[in-house]
A and B are shown apart, each in its own frame.
Chain A
Amino acid sequence: MPASYTIKDILRRGGLLPLLAIGAVAGGATAAFAFAGGWLTPGHLHPAQIVNALEGHDGRHEGFRRAHAKGLCVVGHFDGNGQGLALSKASLFRHATTPVIGRFSLAGGVPNAGDGRVTFHSLALKFDLPGGEQWRMALNHVPVFPVATPQAFLDFQLATTPDPATGKPAPAKVQAYMARHPETKAFVDYMAKAPLPDSFANASYNSVNAFRFTNDQGQSRLVRWIFTPEAPFGELDKTTLASLPRDFLFDEVAGRLAQGPLVWHLSIILPNAGDPTDDATKAWPDDRQRVEVGTLTIDRAVTEDEGPCRDVNFDPTILPAGVAPSDDPLLAARSSVYAVGYTRRTGEPAAPSALANDKAFPAPVSGQSAAKEPAQ
């Protein structure tokens, strides 16, 4: 039988059924594709919903991070002491110096918010390791987080979003959320009691989530870590926060760095059997074994406008060989949510940071790009 290409011939030869079958294959494949993308599953939590909720909570500030919007770039280095290699083969832990760029920030999505708030003081870091490897971290001064899951994160944002009528979250919504989430209630109580550092320089910075370390022998374990400052701790008076100058924390740390470098000691924290590794709302007791693996030195601060940190996504799942994410559900969610936020903000023109015209940060000398670092 000769080939034929006209609809009439095909139908005459009983081609209707195959034609329908082909349509079903094409339609089925398209439906499967939509299903994979979560479009057909009601209740599917998409990372964009969380970014939308952050924008709804604090406003949409074009060009800025949707969380930790106010920040300052820093440049420094890390000196490994070799001790960490027993835990992880990550090259950061060798007896060697690794260049670091980073970012001090305060939590919240408002880029020019005042610094006097009971909120996270944070440090994000990017370690440039040999051979093109990187290790990125985004760390908070508090060792625990208010929520354990991405769904709870979304619900918490939505419940605490200011009501346009009053400018404040609706108390009924907040209470209903807290009733369902005692872990968030416990966190809020803890934040109210815990001392708030009076400087970025004297805060500890915690991984919060657990990660999996694997050493050269292939032994693997879950750990958390903490950067402990050499600068002695000082506490902010929470009753006078509102009266402090808008940028006092950032100006203060710039002043310290003008005097000399700041140093933190990195310790890896090893859990006891039974310590939760997939729940960032639960602290590990203070007596857990710690292994000091090196020191972080921050040499100087540069505004986001001039510095190397603004256009970096400090995705905490960008890890070197020897370190992997744990099964903490926050960690994977952070990666996909930060990516959505990063794509949004990089697609918008960069706006001047709150510190762009701050006298604590001298403008770069004209004719040379004094502070510009390769953002590599």
Chain B
Amino acid sequence: MTSTTFSGPARLLHWIMAVLIIAMLFIGVAMVATVGTSHNWLVPLHKSVGATLLVLVLARLAVRAIHRPPPLPAEMPGPQKAIAHLSHLVLYALMIALPLVGWSMLSAGGYPITVFGALHLPPLLSPDRALYATLRHLHTYLAYTLFLTVIAHLSAALMHGLLFKDGVFQSMAAWRTRR
């Protein structure tokens, strides 16, 4: 028995994470570009929300393993389906990679990894100068890639909702789970 919508937990996690990830992208570029005092609270906020997102994405994968997502409409052209699946794979990969790269780069830089003011995460790697620089740049590149993928994803979602009208938008946007 397949439903036409994502499960309740999947939709809840999708929308919470959508808000947080978009916020993280904006906080990230804003905090590294400012010399103002907002830097003092943006950086700790970025780390705390980033660590939260790592936990959330793991929960989301578990939910996905339990409640399989609804199939894409049968009439949707094959290549378009493939692109949809590939883009979701990219989104998941980046949602996992970004927090891990953030945590690893702070480890390689010998920084304390402080989240929620008082929690100190253990380093994932031992300090390594060149590795820090590499991971720091990787964090930027991955974040920009995520931003572009999210924009494409958002545009595609709106096209499903406003143009194709094939129920794909509703599968994530519905309030209630539908069979």
Contacts and interface: CB of A to CB of B under 8 A. Distances in A.
Interface of A: 1-5, 10, 15, 18-19, 21-23, 25-26, 29-30, 32-33, 36-38, 44-47, 50, 131-134, 150, 310-313, 317-318, 321, 324-325, 327, 329, 331-333, 335-337, 339-340, 342-343, 346-347, 349-350, 374-376
Contacts, number: 149
B76 interface: yes
A295 to B, nearest CB: 24
Nearest to B31: A336
A376 to B, nearest CB: 6
Interface in B80-100: 80
B151 A347 contact: no
A332 B40 contact: yes
24 contacts: A3-B73, A3-B167, A15-B163, A18-B158, A19-B163, A21-B162, A25-B154, A26-B155, A33-B147, A132-B121, A312-B110, A321-B118, A331-B37, A332-B35, A332-B37, A333-B36, A335-B39, A336-B39, A339-B32, A342-B109, A346-B129, A346-B133, A375-B110, A376-B110
A170 to B, nearest CB: 26
A347 B33 contact: no
A346 B121 CA distance: 23
A333 B35 contact: yes
Contact of A26 (B111, B151, B162, B167): B151
A311 B111 CA distance: 11
Contact of A343 (B36, B39, B73, B133): B133
A326 to B, nearest CB: 9
Nearest to B155: A26
Nearest to A18: B162
B39 A347 contact: no
B43 A318 contact: no
B141 to A, nearest CB: 13
B165 A311 contact: no
B103 interface: no
A38 B33 contact: yes
Given A45-B35, A311-B110, A318-B111, A3 B151 contact: no
A374 B126 CA distance: 9
A131 B75 contact: no
A25 B39 CA distance: 28
Contact of A3 (B43, B76, B137, B162): B76
Contacts of B165: 1, 3
Interface string B156-177: 0011001111110000000000
B37 A25 contact: no
A29 B80 CA distance: 24
A349 B159 CA distance: 49
B36 A22 contact: no
B40 A46 contact: no
Contact of B36 (A15, A311, A332): A332
A347 B130 contact: yes
Interface in B37-62: 37-40, 43
Contacts of B16: none
A5 B25 CA distance: 31
B133 A347 contact: yes
Given A2-B75, A33-B147, A336 B129 contact: no
A25 B133 contact: no
B162 A5 contact: no
Contacts of A4: 164
Contacts of B164: 3-5, 10
A37 B29 contact: yes
Contacts of A340: 32
Interface string B101-123: 00000000111111001101111
Given A133-B112, A375-B110, A33 B120 contact: no
Contacts of B147: 33
B158 A22 contact: yes
Given A25-B154, A36-B29, A321-B118, 4 more contacts: A10-B164, A46-B33, A132-B121, A336-B34
B26 interface: yes
B163 A18 contact: yes
A29 B29 contact: no
